[in-house]
Every structure is written in structure tokens, then in C-alpha cells.
Structure 1
């Protein structure tokens, strides 16, 4: 329910998510009898994302293909690029969801609710606070992102565009780490905004980034190298995460 209360799941979305798992299994050519059967009887060597079912195909197979078309933009070279956010902390992923849905209670929204608050951005004092300004146009936030790029040698979008990574190179792990860093930066900016607004205390942008970098390093080292390719280990070492 949109307004909450009973905690009932949206069955249409839930069904699409479950069917989406099958789409992903076919895309990654998972070692299973069902995927092998699909490859032999339906795809027969054809590209999964170029394939279209025939009109006499079963309803179930046409449903899988329909969901594949709906999710196609989330795949790059057969890899689901949204999946790597699992490298991010849950609170950072939640922050990313709020930013993507413009659900943050920034000052411009509080004013529309009738609250009497200072509209000026607490971090830079150069413009009124809105979501777009706070996270992407504010001079303090830009300094955080610039320091992040310098320390990690990675680049990040200056907008709430979570499909920005789709056209970038790199493995699933590499994209996942970069997305996690980006979400960590959004969370840190919001945290510093609240601390400055409540206590008039503000950390230097570079120190903020060093904390994000050290936190990511600890998570990566905690997972070990067992499930990482040699290419990923080399990349992570180059970025000083291992």
C-alpha cells in the first residue's frame, strides 16, 4: 500500500522481481539444467537481449521475455549493473533510494509544508537549499566529490542518475565499489548538513572522503579475495582498497 499500514507487498512488482531472477540467470548463462534447456530449445545461439519469442510460445515464456524487455536497460554486456550496490551499507542504499525518488526533507520541502525555516544552504550559504543544490551544486558537496575522485581515481555523476554507470567500463565488482562510494558520499553530505545545522560543526571535505574510503577498504578486506578475479584484485589494489 502506498500509504503504508498493513505491510502488504505489491504483487505485480514482486512477481517481476522473481521473474527478473530468471532473466538474469539466462543472461549470465548460469550452470543449471533449466538454463541449458532454454539455450537449446529457444535461444539456439542467439543473443538473449535481441531474442523475441514466437507467437505460439507458451504464456510463461512470453512473460519471461516481456520482463526481459522491461529490465533490458539495467544490463550491460549481459551483466546487471544495478546489482553491485550490495557493496554499499544498507543506510547508504536507503539514502540513494531517497535521493533517486526526491524524497529528502530538504529546506525547500519544509517551507512548502508551512514551516518557518531559513531557506539558505547551511553548507555553503550561497543559494537556497534544495535536493539538487545540496547534493550536486553546493560548493561543499562539489569539494567532497572532487576529493573523492582524487583519492580513488574514480569519477562520479553530478546528478541523481543511478544508471550513469551503465555506459562505463569495468567489472561488476568495480562498478559496485564505485556506486557504493557514491552512495557513501551522498550519506556523508546529508550527515554533515544535519551536524552543521544543529551544532554548527562541519568537517573538511577531504576528511569526509578519507572516512568513506577507509570504511570501504575495511569492507573489502573483510570479504577477502576468494570471490574476486585477478583483474578485480589488481584494480582494488591500485585504488588502495586492498
Structure 2
């Protein structure tokens, strides 16, 4: 029996660059089109190539390349090249590739085909070498509002009710779970207390963008926040599936342990005195 699962994020969005809110995964369909576009450009430029000369002699026979239509008897490969020519026609001006001043490149054509969108202000905050990768990916899902919360599942008939598993006070939405839920607030308060952080109660994006301190301090603060929301979601899943809810203090200990292990692997050089005192006051010796 084949198992199919609806993806959390559309593939087109996943393939967007990280600075535009995607994962930066290359769309192989568009990339293949950009590569075939090289052949289209060679024919348009009449490149000094035996294959290009053969194409002009056998297929075009003096006809304008950008207006040429292949016959139904043409080979599959040739019809695909002609189809790519039609898809890229808007990028040519009188047979010259006008998208890039330096001439045709596969990477430039790929970006053009992607229709680049606006940049997001949280990209560098989420995707950095300090953060634990699974925490970064989970935070990304939050920021693009793609989590399967109980309210979302209830609306499509998967859940019988939408009440929050952790506080049981209102419907479970992303905003409710990570900003207003009593349980998640207790976890963040514990982190602010034991970890001596200054994460605001609403876990706003503005705090993440404008957090203060040295570079190391800012990165570790972001690590703590992302680890916090990741472990809150894990606890939510346990509560929903197993009916178990751990004390916030235990979640906090787990978060601090994750940060200590991760930062310990990344800190190679001796820290400046200011950073060392800051770090040791929160996580112990480096």
C-alpha cells in the first residue's frame, strides 16, 4: 500500500533562496530548463560549432530562430529544445539574451525563471552556523506559518477538537502556542531565570532581529530561543500522543544542555574576557 503525506510547504517555496524565506534547494526542473537554454542561446548566436551549423542547415534553413516552430515529425529532443526556446523567449531581444549584461549563464537564467521575491529580515538570524540545524528548520516552519497546529487539523477534519494540549485554555494556533500559552511562558520564564536570558514573553521576531550583546552573545541568545520553541513543540507532541506533560523545569534543563553541547563544539579560540564571563554565568565553564 502506497503512503502519501501532504507536505507542510509547497515545493516552489522550498526552492526559494534562504534570504527569500525558502530552503535554497535547487528546483531541478527549472535548472534543467536553464541548462538547455544554453543550446537555445548558441543557436541564436550562431555559435561556431558543428552542431549549431548542422541545426541551421537541417532544421532552420534560413528561418528566424525565435520564430521557428518544429514539425510533429521532429525528434523528441529537438522539440524539447524548441519548447525551452518558447519558455525563454521573453528573455531574448532580437535573438540576444537581454537578462544579463555579460551574456547567457545557466545560473542567471535560473534566477530569472524563479521570479525572485522580496527578502525576509530573519534569514541570517535563523540560518547561521551556531544554531542546531533541526532547530533552525523548525523555526523556519514557524516563521512561514506551516506547522500543523490542532486548529488547522481540526478545520480539515483530522482532529476532533482544537484545544491546546499544553494549557487546555483555548484553541491551538502558532501564536497561541508560542506566545500566549501558559506552559510555554513558564518554559521561557525558566530560561530567563536559570539561563539569565532576556527573551520577551511574546517571543517577538523584533527581539530576534535586534537582540543586543557581542556577536557570540547574540548568536547564543538566538540558539536558546530556537531550542526553546523546538522543545515546546516536542512536548506538545508528547502531550497530544502520549498524554504526558513534563514540568517546564525539565524542559529548561534539556534546552540548556543542548546549547552547552553545541556551543562547546563551536567555540575553538579563547574567548574575550567579556564573552567568557557572560557564557560561564549561564552555562558554566567553556
Q: Report the secondary structure of 1:135's partner residue.
A: helix
**Other-structure match for 1:67:** none
- State which of 136, 139, 143 in structure 2 corresponds to 1:93: 136
- Is the 8 Å Cα contact of residues 190 and 248 (structure 2) preserved in structure 1? yes
The farther-off stretch of 176-185 and 110-119 is: 110-119
Q: Report the secondary structure of 2:283's partner residue.
A: coil
Instruction: Tell me how far apart the structure 1 counterparts of residues 120 and 163 of structure 2 sit (CA, whole Å).
Output: 41
Higher relative contact order (CA 8 A, sep 6+): 1
Is 1:215–2:254 an aligned residue pair?
A: no
**Other-structure match for 1:136:** 179
1:200 is displaced (CA, Å) by: 1.0
Aligned length in residues: 183
Is 1:146–2:189 an aligned residue pair?
A: yes
Contiguous gaps of at least 5 residues in structure 1: 18-58, 61-69, 75-79
Q: CA RMSD in A?
A: 3.3
Distance verdict in 2 for CA 1:84–1:154, change over 3 Å: farther
Counterpart mapping for 1:1-242 below 5 A = 3-4=10-11, 82=125, 85-159=128-202, 161-226=204-269, 228-242=271-285
> CA deviation digits over 1:110-131, x for unaligned, max 9?
1222334221111111111111
Distance verdict in 2 for CA 1:177–1:141, change over 3 Å: same
Contiguous gaps of at least 5 residues in structure 2: 1-8, 25-100, 103-117
Q: Report the secondary structure of 1:157's partner residue.
A: coil
TM-score by length of 1: 0.65
Structure with higher Rg: it is 2
- Is the 8 Å Cα contact of residues 84 and 173 (structure 1) preserved in structure 2? no
Instruction: Tell me how far apart the structure 2 counterparts of residues 11 and 198 of structure 1 sit (CA, whole Å).
Output: 33
